[in-house]
Each structure stands twice: as structure tokens, then as C-alpha cells.
Chain A
């Protein structure tokens, strides 16, 4: 125990006497947490609309006004022919063309029906799907307006009609930031925690100071614990700062309890720091450990469900995410902060992450050898 105390003293001094580290550890995550959520906004709004109006009547103008007034669309292009409208899509000026055929108003009034054409740039499937659906919804409303104008609404519905009412739980304003901030915070804590842990033992190897530890009576587990605890404390304080930023700047108040978040984070950090230490027991130079941790970081980052939903991935990639500790923490963070899940709801995730913690740290202790070469 006394031995551990001295080790901790040494590690903490090493960290706090290097002003560069403190700067990187605290300023970098804060700046990133302030900037990244602004960039990571996937709300579908501001769809650029191109209109090809062959009709030029009151009706066609009313329709266009109604679409623009909805707030989802911005009128960016008014072309005389469809071909020219298409040109605007090719140049990325517009995302969606609404073509109103000639005699739109006359057909609608005289022949009781009329057809509109919509063409969507579908390279971005989600944006196209939602844009098309919005436009159809607005046209449907407009259609109802026209009908109300011509026929008196009967007291009873003449045809069986199903009303679809949708409600959006947990994020009724559909604010994308509420979704991204908890995930980004997890990513920052992970990247900083693991990369510093990964570099730490290697640095002692490169500087030659590991020799001194190897000839001392320090036990292997004491050595690993001595490395783990200081970084654990640092990461927890970064998490705390992040949660404060989320609350003060982004106004995200967790629906669940902070206790649940910290309980999960404590175990999670042991796992992720263990992984960092494990990598550094294998690497011989800081360069090697950096290459490997970059590759791991990239996979952790992109296959974590932070940017794209895990259910959309092919089955084998979903299996990869099961071996990615980050994906569990992101899931838990979103569940607790947005949906108010409690400890009982995240039982499975806690077990999984406990498994990771035992596995990585056990392996790191086994693999750390006090012999050189």
C-alpha cells in the first residue's frame, strides 16, 4: 500500500510538472466540445428548392409559397425548363425540383385531378427521403386547402380515414445537438485517456527510466495500478468539465441521475485505460504505439454509433461494434441523459464493460514483464 502511495506521488508529479500536458488535457477537450457539436449538425432543414413553373397561375404561386413558408425549404432557383432545373441540381445549387405542369390549375378545377412532378437529388439518401416526404406532406395540406375552398366539408367523413398522430419522445424539439453532445463527450474522454495511457509506459521505456522500476521491489500489479489511478482521476475530471459544459452551454440536463453516469464511467475508464496500458506494454517506441493507437482510435470513432446508427451497419460490422467499448458508453450516455435510464436498465452494458476491464487489465499485468528484451 505504501509502495502504491509513492508510485502515485511520482506519477502525479510527473503529470502536473509538465505544463504542456495539462494544457492538452484540459483546454483541448473543452475547445473541441465547444466546436464539434456546431459542426456535427445533421438536422434536415434548409433544403434548397428549385421550381419549374409551366403554369404561372395563382394556384401554382400559392403552392410554392406554402412550401417555402414551411421553413424546411429555401427557394434557390426558378427555371423555365426542367432541363435547366436539372442543371441546378448538377451544380449542387438545389436539392429538389418541383415541376408544375402547364394547365395545373385548369386540370385541377375542371378535371378534378392534376399531377405534380418532384425530382430529388438522392445521393444523400436520408436527406432525399425526408425532403421528398416533407414536400408530399405540404402538397397534401395544400390539396386539402383547395378542396375546402370548393366543397363544403361534410359533417361526417365519407370514407374511412386513419389519422396518424406521431409524437417524438425524449427530444421533442428534434434538436440534433442534444443527440451529439453526450456522444462527443464520450469520444473526447476516451481519446485523451487511452492515448495518454498508451504513450506513458513506452515513454519510460524510451527514456530508460523503466530500468529503475524493473530493479525495484514494485510488484507488477502495483506498477499498473500506479499508472492507472492518476489517469483515471484525470479522465473523471475531464468528464466532469464536459458535463458542466453540456449543462451550461448546451442546456442539456440529464434526465437520469449523475450517479448512474459516474458509476458507469468509473468502470468504463478502467477498461479503456487498461487497453491503453496493454498497447504500451507491446510497443517498443512511441511511434509504434502512436500508429497502433491511431488505427484503434479510428475504428473506435467510426464504428461506435456516434455518427451513424449501429442498426444500419451490416451484421458483421455490428459484431465489430460489440467489441468496441466506446459503443457501450455512447449508448449508455445517450440513454441516461436523454431517456432517463437507470442502473437497472443498463445492466447488460455494465456487465459487458466489466468484462472488458478485467480482460484488458489482466492481460496488461500478465504481459508487463520486468525483464528487458
Chain B
């Protein structure tokens, strides 16, 4: 035990005395959480639109005003022909165009029927759909105001309740995802050079002739990094709550415990990489470049996993951040307890054990 502690101390001094790296390790996640936490959202707001009003009467002006005043739309241009609409779309200036036909109000009041055309730039399908829905509901409100809520016979009212995120903020879905992405990449990178560095520097020999067992060497390598990771978790959680405005509804202790487990999984993955790589360069390349895209895509926060073809869905199961993302959503946002995340927790524990096991098994006590 004493030997073990001394070894941990040695590793700790490695980190502590390399202030520049320590500085990067602590600041990088903070910068990334702020940058991506704010910037990554698919909430649709302030979309630029153009209006082609061929009628210019009381009704069309009022509808246009209401649409322009909503926070979803930003009226940038009045156009005067269909050709103009096409040209403005091609310049990439607008996302949607609203067309009022001639004699809009006259038709509405005399023949009781008038038409509004919404032309959306569907090259981005979801934004197009969302914008069409928002505009339709504003027009609908106007129509109800005109009718003074006269009730139609046989009416079904629908009351829609948005659970967990009533304002439909983008951050609620994205911040847990960014947490998973950043923690995973940073923690894996930290340990990925730990062992291979000793190989490159030639100090591996010293460690191998020491009486420590491979198991203890590997654990001792991970322990100091675990402390750095804990610091990262705390700073990330503080930022999420106080800067990004995503509350922690469930138990904070459970969330801390699960986050610690997840960093353990990532640290173990880093150790496995470090153990298998021959140079620091390879280790870094694997832990950064080749982990970035799978983590980003298969966590499930950018693109829903259930939309992917089944081979990719199967692959997504081996990405630890996918499970952590589910855990964070359940605890942090839905406010659920341990009973709802025990399966994911078991999977993470299993992954950690497997990664560490393989590392210990593959740890060579002889130099090549």
C-alpha cells in the first residue's frame, strides 16, 4: 500500500510540476463548455423572412406586423415579385417568404375565404417545418381574433403541455451532450499519453524493475488524473447551472457520482490507448482525431440514434458517452432517481472493468 501511495505521489508530481499542461487540462473544458454550450443549439429564432404583399390592406399589414414582431422572425425585406423571392433565396438572405394575394381583405370579408402562401427554404428541412408551423399559428391567432372566438359546433380542443422544458430551450438537450463530449475527450486524452510517455522517455525500465504489480502501476497512473477530472466535473456543472442556465432537478450527489464513474470509463479508455500505442503521437491521434467524430455523432445529442440504420445503432452502443448522455438527461433535467439509470450505470461499470482488464492483461512487463 505504501509503495502504491508513493507511486501515486510520483505521478501527481509529474502533473503538478508541468504547470502548462495542467493549465490546459483545466481550462480547455471550461472554454469548450462555454463556447459549445452557447453556440450549439437548434432552437429556431430570428429567422430572416421576406414578405411579398400584393394587397397592402389593413389585414395583411396587421398580420405582417404580428409576424415581424414575434421573436422567431426577422423581417428583412419586402419583395415585389415571385422572381425577386427566388433571387433573395439564392443569395441566402432569407429562410422563408410570405405571399399575400391581391384583394386579401376583400376576399376574406366578402367570400369568407382568403389564402396566404408560405414559401420555406426547405434545404434545411427541420427549420423549414418549424418556421411554417410558427407562422401558421400566428395567422391562426389572427383569424380567431377576427372571428371573435365564435365557437364552431363539435370542436375538439387540444391542450399541449411541454414536459421538462416548457420554453423549448435548445440548451436543455445540448448542454448534457456537450458535457459528455468534452468530458470524454479531455479525460481520454489525459491518460492516453501517460504510459506511452514513459516508454518514449525510457523511464519505463525503471518502473518495470520496481516491485509494483502491473495492476497497481495502471491504477496509480489513473488516480491523479481522476482528481483533475473531478475539478473538471465541478467546473462543468457550475458553468451549466450558472452560465448556461440548465438547472439540476435531480440529486446533485447522484449526478456527481455518475460523472465520476463516466470519467473513470474515459480514463480507462485513455490508459488502454496509451498501453497499445508505441508513440505519444499515435496515442494523441487516436484519442483526439479518431474519437471526436464517433463521440459527436453517437452520443445522440446532435442526431437521434433511432434514425440511424441498425448497424450504426449497434455501433453506438459501445460509445460510453451515449450512456452518460442518457444518465445526465434523466438526473439533471427529468429529475429522476437511481432506479431510472441503473442499467446505464451497470453498462458504464462493465465498460470500465473491461477496459482496465484488457490494459492489465496487455501490459507488458518486458521491454521489446
**Is the interface on chain A under 10, 10 to 19, 20 to 34, or 35 or more residues?**
35 or more
Name the distance in Å between B223's Cβ and chain A's nearest Cβ: 24
The stretch among A13-21, A139-147, A353-361 that forms the contact with chain B is A139-147
Name the distance in Å between A295's Cβ and chain B's nearest Cβ: 8
Whether, in the assembled complex, B276 has its beta carbon less than 8 Å from a beta carbon of chain A, the answer is: no
Tell which of A44, A157, A309, A338 has the most Cβ of chain B within 10 Å. A309
Q: A39-B298, A169-B119, A314-B38 are in contact. Are A160 and B308 (CB under 8 A)?
A: no
Q: Are A340 and B303 neighbours in the complex by a CB distance under 8 Å?
A: no
Our pick among B43, B159, B307 for the contact of A118 (Cβ within 8 Å) is: B159
Q: Are A116 and B158 neighbours in the complex by a CB distance under 8 Å?
A: yes
The stretch among A122-130, A207-215, A220-228 that forms the contact with chain B is A122-130
Report the Cα distance A295→B116, complex, angstroms: 47
Q: A39-B308, A308-B41 are in contact. Are A164 and B139 (CB under 8 A)?
A: yes
**B:141-198 near A, CB below 8 Å:** 142-143, 146-147, 150-166, 168-170, 172-173
Whether, in the assembled complex, A114 has its beta carbon less than 8 Å from a beta carbon of chain B, the answer is: yes
Nearest-neighbor residue (CB-CB) of A309 within chain B: B127
Q: Are B143 and A162 neighbours in the complex by a CB distance under 8 Å?
A: yes
Whether, in the assembled complex, B213 has its beta carbon less than 8 Å from a beta carbon of chain A, the answer is: no
Name the distance in Å between B91's Cβ and chain A's nearest Cβ: 5
Q: Chain B residues with Cβ under 8 A from A248's Cβ?
A: none
Nearest-neighbor residue (CB-CB) of B307 within chain A: A41
Report the Cα distance A122→B339, complex, angstroms: 22
Q: Chain B residues with Cβ under 8 A from A165's Cβ?
A: 115-118
Contact indicator per residue, chain A 157-185, by CB within 8 Å of chain B (1) or not (0): 11111111111111110111011000000
Q: Are A166 and B136 neighbours in the complex by a CB distance under 8 Å?
A: yes
Report the Cα distance A216→B44, complex, angstroms: 57
Q: Chain B residues with Cβ under 8 A from A163's Cβ?
A: 113-116
**Is the interface on chain B under 10, 10 to 19, 20 to 34, or 35 or more residues?**
35 or more
Q: Are A122 and B164 neighbours in the complex by a CB distance under 8 Å?
A: yes
**B:311-333 near A, CB below 8 Å:** 312, 326, 329-330, 333
Whether, in the assembled complex, A258 has its beta carbon less than 8 Å from a beta carbon of chain B, the answer is: no
Report the Cα distance A80→B121, complex, angstroms: 42
Name the distance in Å between A85's Cβ and chain B's nearest Cβ: 11
**A:108-157 near B, CB below 8 Å:** 108-109, 112-130, 132-133, 135-136, 139, 142-143, 146-147, 150-151, 156-157
**A:277-306 near B, CB below 8 Å:** 286-287, 290-291, 294-295, 297-299, 301-303
Whether, in the assembled complex, A42 has its beta carbon less than 8 Å from a beta carbon of chain B, the answer is: yes
Q: Are B120 and A90 neighbours in the complex by a CB distance under 8 Å?
A: no
Contact indicator per residue, chain B 321-349, by CB within 8 Å of chain A (1) or not (0): 00000100110011010001000000000
Q: Are B126 and A171 neighbours in the complex by a CB distance under 8 Å?
A: no
Q: Chain B residues with Cβ under 8 A from A291's Cβ?
A: 284, 288
Q: Chain A residues with Cβ under 8 A from B137's Cβ?
A: 133
Whether, in the assembled complex, B90 has its beta carbon less than 8 Å from a beta carbon of chain A, the answer is: yes
Q: Chain B residues with Cβ under 8 A from A345's Cβ?
A: 87, 90-92
Nearest-neighbor residue (CB-CB) of A142 within chain B: B156
Whether, in the assembled complex, B78 has its beta carbon less than 8 Å from a beta carbon of chain A, the answer is: no
- Please name 6 further chain A to chain B contacts, defined as beta carbons within 8 Å, in addition to the given A38-B312, A40-B297, A339-B90, sorted by A numbering: A38-B308, A113-B156, A135-B160, A162-B108, A308-B42, A341-B91
Please give me the 7 A-B residue pairs with the lowest Cβ-Cβ distance, nearest first: A168-B122, A125-B168, A317-B39, A157-B112, A122-B162, A122-B165, A174-B125
Which B residues contact A (CB, under 8 angstroms)?
Answer: 28, 32, 35-36, 38-48, 87, 89-92, 95, 108-109, 111-130, 132-133, 135-137, 139-140, 142-143, 146-147, 150-166, 168-170, 172-173, 280-281, 284-285, 288-289, 292-293, 296-298, 302-304, 306-309, 312, 326, 329-330, 333-334, 336, 340
What are 21 A-B pairs at a CB distance below 8 A? A42-B303, A43-B126, A112-B153, A115-B159, A116-B157, A117-B158, A123-B329, A135-B158, A139-B156, A160-B109, A160-B113, A164-B140, A166-B132, A169-B121, A172-B122, A307-B302, A309-B42, A311-B46, A335-B92, A341-B91, A345-B90
